[in-house]
């Protein structure tokens, strides 16, 4: 299990948090995600053998936000 913190540009409200959280959670191999509006970041726990950081960041982009 790997844990990464991803800063995200564009998080402005709770709707954004829900949208990004759902996008990340939909990636196969993601075990847990916590999106924090105040810090504008997501803490993601995932199985490295099933996914990688690139796929997670792609899901964030597809949801309309910019991972840093």
What sign has the CA pseudo-torsion 49, 66, 6, 23?
negative
Structural contact between residues 62 and 10, judged by C-beta atoms closer than 8 angstroms: no
Write out pLDDT tens, residues 5-64.
999 999 999 999 999 999 999 999 999 999 999 999 999 999 999 999 999 999 999 999
Residues forming beta bridges with residue 67, ordered by sequence position = 8
Strands (E), the chain: 2-9, 30-36, 41-46, 66-67
Fold of 2-67: Alpha-Beta Plaits (3.30.70)
Question: Could you tell me the pTM of the whole model?
Answer: 0.95
pLDDT at 20: 98
DSSP letter (8 states) at residue 47: -
pLDDT at 5: 98
């Amino acid at each position: 299990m790997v844990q990464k913190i991803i800063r995200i540009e564009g998080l402005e409200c709770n709707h954004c948090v829900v949208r990004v959280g759902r996008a990340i959670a939909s990636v196969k191999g993601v075990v847990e995600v916590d999106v924090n509006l105040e810090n504008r970041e997501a803490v993601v726990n995932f199985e490295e053998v099933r996914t990688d950081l690139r796929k997670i960041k792609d899901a964030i982009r597809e949801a309309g936000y910019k991972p840093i």
